Copies of this chain bind each other. A is one copy, B any other.
Amino acid sequence: MLDLLALHKYFILQHLGPGDTAVDFTMGNGHDTEFLSKTVGPEGHVYAFDIQEAALISTAAHLKETGCPENYTLIRASHHRLNEFVPVPFKAGMFNLGWLPGGDKSVTTLRSTTLPALQAGIEKLLPDGIILLAVYPGHAEGDAEGTEVEQYLSSLSRYRVCCTKVRIVNSPTSPYFFVIEKK
């Protein structure tokens, strides 16, 4: 019913355009990377992170197949090392927490890196920039991760960022997401 993908794009496109810099914090199979790459176009740039080699291989193939401009850097490292790999502030970032679709389910995003990565992301985000973070509460780690993220976001000054939660209240195991907009 609720078209989460369409809604993600609606939010991102209110902030991101040609020539901008974007970060895919959780590359996975590269679907978000593709969307960001096409949105920022040949004059922009996308940095994409994943700790799994399989994600980089799968994403590189996907970006070629879907005709993305060569405007991306695929980084095999944990996303909390943002500042080591991304030299400039960015306009939009996406987190898709949980495991690599089709990959090893034991390698979920770990709470020990999610919060530092999110914190570093918010620091490095440009004014009028956006970070979108999707949570998958259908497994225990995802559920706990979402709760921690919400506690952290709730503590931030509303004069600095606006943190919105979008969740289906009558389907507790469905994915939900946060929209973080910098002022």
Interface set of A (CB-CB < 8 Å, partner B)? 1-3, 10, 14, 150, 153-158, 161-171, 174, 178-179, 181, 183
Contact = CB atoms under 8 A, between A and B. Distances in A.
Contacts of A2: 162, 164, 179, 181
Counting every copy of the chain, the complex holds 2
A169 B161 contact: no
B156 A170 contact: yes
A167 to B, nearest CB: 6
A162 B1 contact: yes
A12 to B, nearest CB: 14
Contacts of A162: 1-2, 168, 170-171
Contacts of A183: 1
B165 A153 contact: no
Contacts of A171: 158, 162
Given A10-B10, A164-B2, A169 B181 contact: no
